[in-house]
Amino acid sequence: MKRRHLLSLASAPLLAACATPPVPTVQPGEAALAAAPPAPATAEAGPLPPPPPREWRAAWIATVANIDWPSKPGLSAEAQQAEIRALCDTAVGVGLNALILQVRTSNDALYESKLEPWSEYLTGTQGQHPGYDPLAVWLKECRARGLELHAWFNPYRSRHSSAKSAVADSHVSRTHPDWVKRYGDQLWMDPGEPQAAEHTLAVVRDLLSRYAVDGVHIDDYFYPYPIQDPATKQEIDFPDEPSWQKYLAKGGSLSRHDWRRYNVNTLVQRLYALAHEVRPGTRVGVSPFGMPKPAARPPGISGFSQYDKLYADVELWLREGWMDYLAPQLYWPRAQTAQAFEPLLQAWRAQNPLGRPIHPGLFTSRINDTDKSWQPDEVLAQIDIIRSVSPGSGHVHFSMAALAQNRKGIADALRSGPYAKP
């Protein structure tokens, strides 16, 4: 999973706009209320109380490699559903109001799908039916507790390094091997293959047409994080020569790096438009690597550039409004000068002319049993910074396991501290 190697990456060397869907000014039922005569005033009537504060408190539920759920592959349907209920209960007990569930880890599905095979992280065998519809159960349990549920997709990854099952016959690596490239110990759909992008959009459209999720969510995996050749120590380029040559043969004039960014930009723009077309009111969220492009960084900030290496022009997407919220992965402690938490948060806020909500991702799972563990006070202090800089916005914990296990008392500290009020 990306978050396991983000700290090492931090020290590495260094289109057309889509209109935002209109927000209705009158909600259902308001017209009738507006036409009704005003209620008579009473002598006892005083000023109305202020509206309750609204802070988005979310956590990622990572299913790849069974990080958060299910706890292991091959559990019975009943045991998996019991774990769903327990995690939802934990979320409410801690004080969260939203969960972000990974429904597509690598061209697979954790829901009923005719487009991609069942995930191996459910049964241990890719393509094997788990005996129930996990996403339907997650939706039911979240609805019963007043939790939002956002569906988290990996747009291009096709096989994770943790995969053990044989690939199902219906997997894209078998049905369309020309779209899929091996890069290191993983498989990736080539973003330069137009039909691969169409497939991802079809998957999102299918899910949104059948499941009433509150949001669509993508993270930092666009082109893969670069790897090095063990022998030469040189960075290995992504093997997209065939799609690059097809682009040039059609008269393409962009440089190869700009062409790669164009591929990703187009997918993000279309994904945003599609989500609002199929299910109006759906929120589209993007959770990129936590550092802006080098030109947009404050003094003293340095490290990995997703703009140059993952071909993700997140600043463009934010400027054009191709997302409804941004959740940059600010996975560093406050005192780590080159990736300091507050300057990075302020840098993203400065790139936000449309005022989209910014909900930083917090590395809560860094609270663990290792000698590099954070203390809960680090996460609590980061929440204080977010509230000070951007009152009423919110944040996302990576990941739910740290809260469910109450590592070093973090769940108790949240419940009695920043989450003491709903």
Q: Is 402 helix (H, G, I), strand (E, B) or coil?
A: helix
Q: Hey, how many other C-beta atoms are within 10 angstroms of the C-beta on 75?
A: 19
Phi-psi map region of 402: left, alpha, beta (phi>0 left; psi -120 to 50 alpha): alpha
User: Strands 180-183, 186-189: parallel, antiparallel or unpaired by DSSP?
Assistant: antiparallel
User: Strands 157-159, 186-189: parallel, antiparallel or unpaired by DSSP?
Assistant: antiparallel
Q: What is the rounded CA–CA span in Å between residue 280 and residue 272? A: 11
Q: Which of 227, 297, 224, 228 is nearest to 264 (CA)?
A: 224
Give the pair of three-digit tokens for residue 275. 């989500």
- Tens-binned pLDDT, residue by residue, of the chain (422 aa): 444 444 444 443 333 333 334 333 333 333 333 344 444 444 455 677 776 678 999 999 999 999 999 999 999 999 999 999 999 999 999 999 999 999 999 999 999 999 999 999 999 999 999 999 999 999 999 999 999 999 999 999 999 999 999 999 999 999 999 999 999 999 999 999 999 999 999 999 999 999 999 999 999 999 999 999 999 999 999 999 999 999 999 999 999 999 999 999 999 999 999 999 999 999 999 999 999 999 999 999 999 999 999 999 999 999 999 999 999 999 999 999 999 999 999 999 999 999 999 999 999 999 999 999 999 999 999 999 999 999 889 999 999 999 999 999 999 999 999 999 98
Q: Which of 82, 58, 59 is nearest to 71 (CA)?
A: 82
Exposed e or buried b for every residue in 207-226, given b needs 16+ CB within 10 A? bbeebebbbbbbbbbbbbbb
Q: What is the rounded CA–CA span in Å between residue 390 and residue 346? A: 9
Q: Hey, how many other C-beta atoms are within 10 angstroms of the C-beta on 351?
A: 18
Give the pair of three-digit tokens for residue 380. 């609590």
On the 0-12 / 13-18 / 19+ scale of CB atoms within 10 A, 402 is buried
Q: What is the rounded CA–CA span in Å between residue 175 and residue 177? A: 6
158 upstream amide cis, omega within 30 of 0: no
pLDDT at 23: 38
Provide the residue type at 358 as one letter: I
Q: Which of 160, 99, 115, 9 is nearest to 285 (CA)?
A: 99
0.75 exceeded by pTM = yes
Q: What is the rounded CA–CA span in Å between residue 348 and residue 358? A: 8
pLDDT at 46: 67
Q: What is the DSSP string of 243-300?
A: HHHHHHHTT--S-HHHHHHHHHHHHHHHHHHHHHHHSTT-EEEE--BSSPPGGGPPTT
Give the pair of three-digit tokens for residue 163. 């995969």
Q: What is the rounded CA–CA span in Å between residue 331 and residue 366? A: 9
Cα→Cα distances 245→260, 303, 318, Å: 13, 31, 30
Question: Using an 8 Å Cβ cutoff, are 229 and 236 in contact?
Answer: yes
Q: Which of 146, 123, 140 is nearest to 63 (CA)?
A: 123
User: Strands 180-183, 325-326: parallel, antiparallel or unpaired by DSSP?
Assistant: unpaired
pLDDT at 355: 96
pLDDT at 45: 57
pLDDT at 52: 67
Provide the residue type at 266 as one letter: T
Phi-psi map region of 150: left, alpha, beta (phi>0 left; psi -120 to 50 alpha): beta
Give the pair of three-digit tokens for residue 271. 């994904």
CATH code of the domain made up of 53-416: 3.20.20.80
pLDDT at 391: 87
Question: Using an 8 Å Cβ cutoff, are 198 and 135 in contact?
Answer: no
